[in-house]
Chains A and B, each alone.
Chain A
Amino acid sequence: MSVRTERLPEGIEFVAEEEGVREYGLANGLKLLLVENRVAPVVTFLVLYRVGSRNEAVGHTGATHLLEHMLFKGTPKFNKRAGTQIAATLQRVGADFNATTWYDRTNYFETVPSDALELAVRLEADRMRNSFIADEDRRSEMTVVRNELERGQNEPALVLDEAVYAAAFREHPYHHPTIGWRADVENVPTARLKEFYDTFYQPNNATAVVVGDFERGTTLELVNRYFGAIPRSPSPIPEVYTDEPRQQGERRVVVRRAGELPLVQVAFRTPAALGHTNVLSNAELASRASSPPAENDIYPLAVLSAALAGGVTSRLYQALVESELAVSVDARADQFRDPGLFNVYATASPGVEPGRVEEVVHEELRRAGGDLGEEEVEKAKRQIAAHVAYERDGTHNVAMQVSEAEAVADWRFYNSYARGVARVTAEDVRRVAAAYFGEDNRTVGHFIPKPAAGDGASEG
């Protein structure tokens, strides 16, 4: 059936189709993406909300994440008293389900046997607007989330990462971790969560994604039946506008606490996923995503991270791990909605000063801007191409990738990512290394393990 003659339920319109992704729009502003994939008799249904910790400020940091937990606490239709608790209902059909919150978005997803798609659609539509958000639930869930935070605080690498982001972003909300500051998690009022829910959990702030084995006509009808009835938000979705000013000088943070090995993190401010260096409104972002810029430094930065730390043959592995200064090294180029960081992470070998590891990192990054060659760049590009293919195995993985693209740009970013990487030249990579790896643009973190007295470690 051709696109033109497709019969659509009243209230849904076809918007675009490219490379297997079909976009539809509901009258209430919900965006719907369909990706058919009939490898196995399963389907993944995912709802993405354009709200994350970037929408928070001091006093309610962590609210987005706490709210995500509250959305499992029930609605008048799905609740424990009625024997239809959300998790139990999904568990019963064998669903692989969860929800996650990150800087730019919150998503809810379930992979179910194909015949349970309707349940997933009905449940997600229901909790978009009908969740209880009760004070009693908030109290018991707060301690659950506080324990999640405590588990994170047990990990030295996470503690250092939080300290580095908090130093690199002073004004922009990437400053605070998605889990929130402890006191905010403990004290945020239920009314504030409810306000957050009413502000952002609206069809015109969401994208529904369906991936897998489904019948298109039936699915359009299902989504329209359950989501179509929800009205558009009464007021416009609030925008984030806090730009992080240009960094003018190196920032350094040190964390000293019990641990085993020293850690070093070196971070540089870099552009957003669509290559821009300021905060964009939702409309500006949508417009930029539908006609992306020809030049986007995000792609050479991704190639650079693979060339620097993608495997045994990479430059940093050779300089740090082969030389036995470090036991591991990694690099990651953020691809966020707003400008993020390029991070290098290293775990020093026992007895090696973190300063020594840091020196080698600086030296390698400086060198990369001058002599990173064609062969290394081509190898890094092939590694990324293979990883893009691996990450698209299975309906859940495809839905997650599409949703991440929607959160930072739109689904076209998912489709065009491999091509963006393929276009990168060695000269591009050297240029971005030289442009971003400057001392004034840098934040350095050290984790120094404090010897802990009294650790009880004896064989039982």
Chain B
Amino acid sequence: MTSEFQQEPEVAGSSGGAGFSSRVVREELATGAVLLALENRATPTVSLRGSLRAGSYFEPRDRPGLARVTAEMLKRGTRGQSKLELAGALESVGADIEFEADAFAAQISARSLSQDFPLLVSMLAEMLREPSFPADELEKLKQQTVAAVREQQSDTRWRAYERLTQVVFDKANPFYAHAGERLIESINSITVEDVRGFYEKFYGGRSLILSVVGCVRAGEAVGLLREALADFGGPENIDVTIADPLPQEGERRELVVVRDKANVDVLLGSAAPLRRDAADYYAALLANRALGESTLSSRLGLQVRDVEGLTYGIASRFRAPTLAAGPWYIAVSVNPGNVERAIGSALNVLREYVREGIRPDELEDEKSSATGAFKVSLSTNAGLAAALWNAEFYRLGLDYVERYPEHVRSVTVEEVNAAIRKYFRPDHLTIVVAGDIEAAHAEHPPVA
């Protein structure tokens, strides 16, 4: 596919070949930070994607929300500039920088017009290196975060997911979503010292990855980042070690009542011991695609939506196969009167799939679909930057982008069927129903 990239930029670091990876400039700093850049002149813009290992996995158990608050405080004041000054500098050129914590990482995303890229780099470096964590800004952020958590409590989809994670993961697992009230209590208790302590312990160049794609010379982009971040050192520990959760035995039902909602969200899921570096990663992905990648054309959608008309959306997902086992689930939205029918129908589809396995022609279609979709995802600056970041974060090698189709094509029917049996266990799922459905569910009292 890479030879079909028909742009003709001068790319520093290009070995003259047409290969995608040969056009990427990659540099590892003495601190351990990795910088990546690719020139793409389609629009006069630059997209940046990056991360540090400072996600919720690293926060103390009694401080859920600390990783999130710390990441979001980076924009709220530095040694040299107030929040308003920082925002003014970025907004006056239409640039954005966002920080957001997930299970393992503080994620960074940023963009600017290419003429403003040097400004973007210096602002990003300043936020990463010199945050001042002003007390009044922390109070405001806490108030806003608490309001956001409260709003989320009336979101049926979130409430179903929250409960699923509480059932299938223990409290120390970064995928465990704390109940709203507990999270609010924790956020309210966070102090400037907590934030500063977390920052000092986990922020530093050692786990920093930054990938830049856009209308900039790749070598120059890496040079700017190097200059700004060369001596951003530390931290000591960035290792992630998590045991897989014990497999669930038997079916479990959970009910979350959210009043006055027209739609009910249902999840049927479990913990899936799939990591990004698993040998059966591609087989598992293809196994899931045929089952529930598309609400319009996968097995679940064809039956539950297309034939029975029970739902607007049904899909199955490995949520972030990453550095540890995460959740896998089927998600379906449904009218309160159709909850049991939709669950029954989805389970039938799943059971038949587990019993009979994938059809060879179906697997061929899924392979073609996966490689085509991967190609389509590489058509924007943001998509390219995400692919480079992904390759680095999971240590897949820079030529991962070129090898992806090969990985997908080499998967056999037997490998997919083994993955289906390993990850999809229809009789051992947690089924969460969230919405205004108490009456309809009297026959299935929630498990305490």
- Using known A-B contacts A147-B335, A312-B84, determine if residue A327 contacts B260 with beta carbons closer than 8 Å: no
Q: How far is the CA of A106 from the CA of B180 in the complex (A)?
A: 40
- Which residues of chain B are near A151, meaning CB under 8 Å? 262-263, 312-313, 333
Contact with B along A27-54 (1 / 0, CB 8 A): 0000000000111111000000000000
Task: Report the minimum CB–CB distance from B161 to chain A (whole Å).
Answer: 12
Q: How far is the CA of A89 from the CA of B289 in the complex (A)?
A: 15
Closest residue on chain A to residue B147 by CB atoms: A327
Q: Which of B1, B259, B311 has the most chain A CB within a 10 Å cutoff?
A: B259
Task: Report the minimum CB–CB distance from B78 to chain A (whole Å).
Answer: 14
Task: Report the minimum CB–CB distance from A379 to chain B (whole Å).
Answer: 5
Judge if A366 is at the interface, Cβ distance under 8 Å: no
Chain B, interface size category, equals 35 or more
- Which residues of chain A are near B155, meaning CB under 8 Å? 154
- Using known A-B contacts A150-B335, A154-B156, A311-B91, determine if residue A456 contacts B257 with beta carbons closer than 8 Å: yes
Q: Are B446 and A456 in contact (CB under 8 A)?
A: yes
Q: How far is the CA of A458 from the CA of B370 in the complex (A)?
A: 40
- Which residues of chain B are near A93, meaning CB under 8 Å? 368-369, 372
Judge if A3 is at the interface, Cβ distance under 8 Å: no
- Which residues of chain B are near A382, meaning CB under 8 Å? 92-94
- Using known A-B contacts A144-B311, A154-B156, A460-B166, determine if residue A260 contacts B381 with beta carbons closer than 8 Å: no
Contact with B along A220-240 (1 / 0, CB 8 A): 000000000000000000000
Q: How far is the CA of A458 from the CA of B373 in the complex (A)?
A: 40
Q: Are A146 and B372 in contact (CB under 8 A)?
A: no
Q: Are A349 and B297 in contact (CB under 8 A)?
A: no
Segment among B195-203, B270-278, B302-310, B349-357 that sits at the interface with chain A: B302-310
Q: How far is the CA of A452 from the CA of B93 in the complex (A)?
A: 44
Q: Are A324 and B43 in contact (CB under 8 A)?
A: no
Q: Are B263 and A112 in contact (CB under 8 A)?
A: no
Q: Are A148 and B376 in contact (CB under 8 A)?
A: no
Q: How far is the CA of A110 from the CA of B199 in the complex (A)?
A: 44
Q: Are A153 and B262 in contact (CB under 8 A)?
A: yes
Q: Are A140 and B308 in contact (CB under 8 A)?
A: yes
Q: Are A42 and B297 in contact (CB under 8 A)?
A: no
For the residues of A in contact with B, the DSSP-based class is mixed
Chain A, interface size category, equals 35 or more
Q: How far is the CA of A327 from the CA of B148 in the complex (A)?
A: 8
Q: Are B305 and A144 in contact (CB under 8 A)?
A: yes
Judge if A293 is at the interface, Cβ distance under 8 Å: no
Q: How far is the CA of A459 from the CA of B154 in the complex (A)?
A: 16
Q: Are B179 and A147 in contact (CB under 8 A)?
A: no
Which parts of B157-202 form the interface with A (CB within 8 Å)?
159, 163, 166-167, 178-182
Q: Are B87 and A394 in contact (CB under 8 A)?
A: no
Judge if B111 is at the interface, Cβ distance under 8 Å: yes
Task: Report the minimum CB–CB distance from B174 to chain A (whole Å).
Answer: 16
- Using known A-B contacts A261-B150, A327-B144, A459-B182, determine if residue A94 contacts B45 with beta carbons closer than 8 Å: no
Q: How far is the CA of A57 from the CA of B367 in the complex (A)?
A: 45
Q: Are B294 and A87 in contact (CB under 8 A)?
A: yes
Contact with A along B136-151 (1 / 0, CB 8 A): 0000100110111011
- Which residues of chain B are near A394, meaning CB under 8 Å? 42, 379-381, 383
- Which residues of chain B are near A456, meaning CB under 8 Å? 255-257, 446
Which parts of A72-112 form the interface with B (CB within 8 Å)?
72, 80, 85, 87-88, 90-96, 111-112
- Which residues of chain B are near A113, meaning CB under 8 Å? 372, 375-376
Q: Which of B4, B178, B374 has the most chain A CB within a 10 Å cutoff?
A: B4
Q: Are B379 and A42 in contact (CB under 8 A)?
A: yes
Task: Report the minimum CB–CB distance from A81 to chain B (whole Å).
Answer: 13
Which parts of B1-54 form the interface with A (CB within 8 Å)?
1, 4-7, 40-45, 47
- Which residues of chain B are near A87, meaning CB under 8 Å? 294, 296-297
- Which residues of chain A are near B262, meaning CB under 8 Å? 149-151, 153-154
Judge if B95 is at the interface, Cβ distance under 8 Å: yes
Which parts of B305-360 form the interface with A (CB within 8 Å)?
305-313, 333-335, 338
Q: Are B4 and A311 in contact (CB under 8 A)?
A: no
Q: What residues make up the interface of A, taking CB atoms closer than 8 Å to B?
A: 37-42, 72, 80, 85, 87-88, 90-96, 111-114, 116, 139-151, 153-154, 156, 212-213, 257-261, 310-314, 321-322, 324, 327-328, 347, 349-350, 379, 382-387, 389-390, 392-397, 450, 452-460
Q: Which 3 A-B pairs have the closest CB atoms?
A: A94-B372, A386-B94, A258-B260
A to B CB contacts below 8 Å, 19 in the list:
A39-B7, A40-B5, A41-B1, A41-B4, A111-B376, A112-B376, A140-B306, A147-B333, A154-B263, A258-B258, A311-B91, A314-B91, A393-B382, A397-B380, A453-B259, A455-B153, A457-B179, A459-B182, A460-B167
